[in-house]
Structure 1
Amino acid sequence: MNSGNFFTKPPGMEGSLEFAMNPCKVLIGSAIRQKPAILKEFLQSLMELDRTNLQTDYFFIDNNDYQESAKLLREFRMEGSTVFLGAANPTEAYRCTEETHYWNDRLIWQIAAFKDHILKFALDNNYSHVFLVDSDLVLHPLTLKQLLSSGKDIISEIFWTEWAPGTGELPQVWITGQYSFHLGGNSMPEEEKQRQAAQVIAQLKVPGIYEVGGLGACTLISAKAIAKGISYRRISNVDYWGEDRHFCIRAAVLGFGLYVDTHYPAFHIYRESLLPKVAEYKRSIKLAKKKRRENRQIKRENWQRKSSGNKLTLSMIVRNEADRYLARVLAHARQYIDEAVIIDDASIDNTADICREILQGIPLTLITQKRSTFSTEYRLRKKQWRETVKTNPDWILILDADEMFEDKVVAEMPKLINQTEFDYYAFRLYDFWDEEHYREDKFWQAHKVYRPFLVRYIPGFVYKWLETPQHCGRFPCNITELKGALSPLRVKHFGWANPQDREKKYKRYLKFDPQGVYGIKEQYESILDPAPNLVRWEE
């Protein structure tokens, strides 16, 4: 389903993404009352962050009981950075055991005040972002750059915690309320709540960027959000527990979305017994880095990345598209593609004839199937990939028959493919509800995330697929192990642009996924909303 929402993975933000932005001046901040052994690991992970081409300074508020912890903060140094150190004597007992951490209201709102002090300092001193991190986290070296690359005003990196022994790990983000993982309120049947929660938890373990309802503890905040009034202070008429809830409610009221990145989960040393696992976490990072490096260096005889002369192959699956958008999509695409591979999935109209007619003069491989196989989409997608690879493409662009780039793609596409640094590009997709408007609401936010449409084909790379009957993805699921980039080019999706198509798709999703196993049932129902929120398209 071409939409972004709380649960559906918004593909295309995975892997190593480069970003174009003005030089960032980031203040890394933390209010610290921590045991020395845990604090040492936290500070070491800050030192190991990739800060290339970034200006970073540090602001720690020393609220420690332990003199050794205070000494660690005083001795912390980073070349090229300024370390600001504030001090606040502990006024309340704070106890951490192997079972849990013991908080009270006074401690919570003291921490909130510390965080707000750091935010104000950042705004007053012209920092572009604040990265607030709890001192019991060990960060992946790529965390800061990944969060900055998202372009989000408020985004956290995920981590997982067993809040009580034997209860299973849960993330520090949530969807609604105090700490819930479902939509629909308390009136929803318990079985449905549990089903949705299980789906959310499973999805958050897949690399991506997701919009959520609440977050905290490892959060990048833009100066724009701070200037608009973002803060952790208590909202007097809200009784939710914890300063992060009040921060998130305030963010929503001010119009800021809340996002979580799941590419580089932090390790949470919630209890001292987890300290030995820090080494294991760091080993996993090194292994992943080695794997990415090996994938980048994949070569075979007579093959290498080219900076010019790359062939772009359009790959599509079509079915009964003659009276819809196919002719328009192909006419637009032929302006910038070099070849096309199209699978006609058992059309009973003249779809195949339109493909031949519009693409006349462009090399075309047209494969017609007598029986539709879309009900097992991953098999159809794997066949599409195999047939496209047979044509020896340099780059593969996969579009649906109702998707079309904005016009500037004609000039920009050669720049994207004729380079040797990036192996895939991610774009934003806009769900049009008529010819001039796209839809934007709780369930329809595809344009707020990036997803891959364009991939360099690398001989020798072992491509892997998500083998689910529906929503398997148009590309192999491991392409994001390669190095990708975000493109400002936008994709227009007309699949929902007329009422008849919406009705057909609604019935199709209910037929193939009646329980909402591969998507969200509430989103399926929203397809027929008689008065959706629409936004006018601007070229």
Structure 2
Amino acid sequence: MVNVISMMLVKNEADRWLHEALRQARFLSDHVVVLDDASTDTTREIAYQYADEVLESAVSMFARDERFQRQRLWDTATRMARRGDWILGFDADELLPEDHVERLRLILTTKFLPGVDSMSFRLCDMWSDTHYRDDKFWTAHHRQWVRAVRFDPTAPNRWRDATHHCGSFPLGSEGVVGFTDLTIKHMGWSREQDRKAKFDRYMEADPDGALGWLEQYHSILDPEPHLVAL
């Protein structure tokens, strides 16, 4: 029997999509592991409502050493995994459409998917509950993003060399990627106040665009972005 283990790194998510993200993880998984990155709101208490195991960090590593937290989360999730078990790694602002949740559960529980070591998904940067951003600055939906891997204890356990956005899984753990037609709704951009806060944070951390893309930073505040209905 193949088990499904979900892992999620969270920080100050209480007034966002945490309930829904954890509800989906709970439905999809046999075991849910959450690492709270020193939240100052009620995120930790919400996590305990859904997760089988909640790891607590006394000091936040956000934008300092995300690899440390991701490694800790991965080590905890894989400690209970057997070869071939599915490990899911969705963020707290990533939701599947309801019909896609049902379809993913069917894949995880009834299909063997021979020769496939991981599954990738289309990811849409949502600018509202129903529409995603589509222009030269926002192209995530044109690529596939791995959010599920079959556990292989012999696979590499090395993380991308980045203090932030280092990925959900160790480099090399994906193996042979199986592409799906399932969609992730990345809700982190969907509220105006969140977009403004992210713009301010990026400009403070990287005012010259040396670490990212300055034009994209400024595009966050476009008054009339090109949006497509999901």
Return the TM-score normalized by structure 1.
Answer: 0.40
The answer to whether residue 23 in structure 2 is matched with residue 335 in structure 1 is: no
Q: Are the equivalent residues in 1 in contact too, given 2:156–2:170 (CA < 8 A)?
A: no
Query: Displacement of 1:410 after TM fit?
Result: 1.8
Q: Are the equivalent residues in 1 in contact too, given 2:156–2:171 (CA < 8 A)?
A: no
The answer to whether residue 145 in structure 2 is matched with residue 458 in structure 1 is: no
Distance 1:533 1:351, change over 3 A: same
**Structure 1: which amino acid aligns with 2:92?**
A
Return the TM-score normalized by structure 2.
Answer: 0.90
| Structure-2 separation of matches of 1:374 and 1:534 | 30
Q: Which has the higher contact order (CA 8 A, sep 6+)?
A: 2
| Structure-2 separation of matches of 1:514 and 1:386 | 35
Query: Displacement of 1:414 after TM fit?
Result: 3.5
Deviations 1:45-97 (A, max 9, x none): xxxxxxxxxxxxxxxxxxxxxxxxxxxxxxxxxxxxxxxxxxxxxxxxxxxxx
| Structure-2 separation of matches of 1:311 and 1:512 | 40
| Structure-1 separation of matches of 2:29 and 2:178 | 20
Deviations 1:257-294 (A, max 9, x none): xxxxxxxxxxxxxxxxxxxxxxxxxxxxxxxxxxxxxx
**Structure 2: which amino acid aligns with 1:505?**
K
Runs of 4+ in structure 1 off by over 6 angstroms are: none
What RMSD over aligned residues (CA atoms) do the two structures have, in Å?
1.7
- Identify which of 374, 379, 382 aligns with 2:71: 382
Distance 1:440 1:502, change over 3 A: same
Aligned position for 1:523: 216
Q: Are the equivalent residues in 1 in contact too, given 2:156–2:173 (CA < 8 A)?
A: no
Aligned position for 1:392: 81
Query: Displacement of 1:467 after TM fit?
Result: 1.5
Query: Displacement of 1:494 after TM fit?
Result: 0.6
| Structure-2 separation of matches of 1:318 and 1:402 | 9
Matches within 5 A, 1:218-257: none
Aligned position for 2:60: 372
Query: Displacement of 1:479 after TM fit?
Result: 2.7
| Structure-2 separation of matches of 1:416 and 1:470 | 29
Query: Displacement of 1:368 after TM fit?
Result: 1.2
Matches within 5 A, 1:275-314: 309-314=1-6
Give 3-state SS (helix, strand or coil) of 1:411's partner: helix
Give 3-state SS (helix, strand or coil) of 1:479's partner: coil
**Structure 2: which amino acid aligns with 1:458?**
D
Aligned position for 2:142: 448
| Structure-1 separation of matches of 2:180 and 2:148 | 10
| Structure-2 separation of matches of 1:387 and 1:449 | 29
Aligned position for 1:430: 124
Aligned position for 1:119: none
Distance 1:521 1:356, change over 3 A: same
Query: Displacement of 1:383 after TM fit?
Result: 2.0
Unmatched runs of 5 consecutive residues or more in structure 2: none
Q: Are the equivalent residues in 1 in contact too, given 2:120–2:148 (CA < 8 A)?
A: yes
Deviations 1:353-405 (A, max 9, x none): 11122x1xxx6110111210012222222222122212326111111111011
Give 3-state SS (helix, strand or coil) of 1:495's partner: helix
Give 3-state SS (helix, strand or coil) of 1:503's partner: helix
Q: State the percentage of identical aligned residues.
A: 38
Deviations 1:442-482 (A, max 9, x none): 111111110101111101222221111223222212234x2
Query: Displacement of 1:416 after TM fit?
Result: 4.2
| Structure-1 separation of matches of 2:25 and 2:41 | 22
Aligned position for 1:486: 179
The answer to whether residue 62 in structure 2 is matched with residue 344 in structure 1 is: no
Give 3-state SS (helix, strand or coil) of 1:316's partner: strand
**Structure 1: which amino acid aligns with 2:101?**
V
Give 3-state SS (helix, strand or coil) of 2:165's partner: coil
| Structure-1 separation of matches of 2:187 and 2:129 | 8
| Structure-2 separation of matches of 1:386 and 1:432 | 31
**Structure 2: which amino acid aligns with 1:332?**
Q
Give 3-state SS (helix, strand or coil) of 2:189's partner: coil
Give 3-state SS (helix, strand or coil) of 1:335's partner: helix
Matches within 5 A, 1:189-268: none
Q: Are the equivalent residues in 2 in contact too, given 1:333–1:404 (CA < 8 A)?
A: no
**Structure 1: which amino acid aligns with 2:69?**
L
Q: Are the equivalent residues in 2 in contact too, given 1:318–1:400 (CA < 8 A)?
A: yes
Give 3-state SS (helix, strand or coil) of 2:157's partner: coil
Query: Displacement of 1:332 after TM fit?
Result: 2.6
The answer to whether residue 82 in structure 2 is matched with residue 402 in structure 1 is: no
Aligned position for 1:66: none
Deviations 1:285-330 (A, max 9, x none): xxxxxxxxxxxxxxxxxxxxxxxx2111111111111111101221
Q: Are the equivalent residues in 2 in contact too, given 1:335–1:410 (CA < 8 A)?
A: no
**Structure 2: which amino acid aligns with 1:390?**
R
Query: Displacement of 1:515 after TM fit?
Result: 3.5
Aligned position for 1:325: 17
Give 3-state SS (helix, strand or coil) of 2:188's partner: coil
Deviations 1:129-160 (A, max 9, x none): xxxxxxxxxxxxxxxxxxxxxxxxxxxxxxxx
Aligned position for 1:508: 201
Q: Are the equivalent residues in 1 in contact too, given 2:119–2:146 (CA < 8 A)?
A: yes
**Count of aligned residue pairs for this structure pair:** 224
